[in-house]
Amino acid sequence: MDVSSFLQRIGLDAPVPLNRVGLATIFEYHSQHIAFENLDLIRGQNIIIDPTTWYTKIVHQRRGGVCLEVNGLLGTMLRKMGFQVDFLQGRFLSPQLELSRPYGHVALRVHLDQPYLVDAAFRYAPLQPIPLTEGTFEDKVGTCELRECAPQSYDLIRHMQVNGKEIACYRIFPEAVTLKDFATELEFIQHDTDSEYNKQIYVSRASAEGFHYMRDLQFSSWSKDKVDRSVCSREELQQVLQEKFSIDASSFNL
């Protein structure tokens, strides 16, 4: 896995310093070039826990991936660049702050002058690295809040300025984990009949103004001040994937 090729994939032509500015630069370019997408799950293509395979898919095939692939590869490449990175378990939250299945999400903790939360694979996550401590943090679409719910465990809450909604995202736990720890949940989302991710399309990617999101054939574009929504036809799907998410799905049967 070549760092230079990875940087070129996300639109950077030179290494960055191993500091907060460098991390923010990598995150900004990465999040606007690489999408969360579950197209392989819809197509019945098996996903394995192997960063080299993710590298081929994301860098050479210019695809995105599920959170384990996107954040897993990002964390792996940050380590190769010299950053100190931990993989963390996230568990999605209901509006009542009830926890979903273990290991439902993977995020990164990057150690610099203080620990930073980095998540490039969830549309409501902060659109920049934020300190992994209790507080509120502004970004392009509103405010993210980390609420400490246990020692060094935090609930991520998104406050959307455009509609005033408060969205409970996930709980992040402090223990560093390995990518292999997500094997059971990866099997679930791929093959279980209760998984929503193997039934309909989910795609999201950051944009210069906020983020784009697609669920099945419903597309939305979010910024701080407005949300534009539209519905595409099955015939228009490949064009939307290419234009809004830079995913060439012309050879896919979707």
Catalytic choice (67, 155, 169, 212): 67
Please answer whether residues 174 and 189 qualify as being in contact, where contact means their C-beta atoms are separated by less than 8 angstroms: no
Cβ neighbours of 193 (radius 10 Å): 6
Strand, helix or coil for residue 243: helix
pLDDT at 160: 86
Q: Is 105 a catalytic residue?
A: yes
Domains of the chain, with CATH numbers? 3-245 (3.30.2140.20)
Catalytic choice (30, 33, 40, 105): 105
Burial of 246 (0-12, 13-18, 19+ CB in 10 A): middle
What are the pLDDT tens digits along the chain (254 aa)?
Answer: 999 999 999 999 989 999 999 999 999 999 999 999 999 999 999 999 999 999 999 999 999 999 999 999 999 999 999 999 999 999 999 999 999 999 999 999 999 999 999 999 999 999 999 999 999 999 999 999 999 999 999 999 999 877 778 999 999 999 999 999 999 999 999 999 999 999 999 999 999 999 999 999 999 999 988 999 999 998 999 999 999 999 988 878 87
Q: Which of 30, 33, 40, 119 is catalytic?
A: 119
Residue that is written with structure tokens 């993977």 in the block: 106
Q: Is 60 annotated in the active site?
A: no
232 is catalytic: no
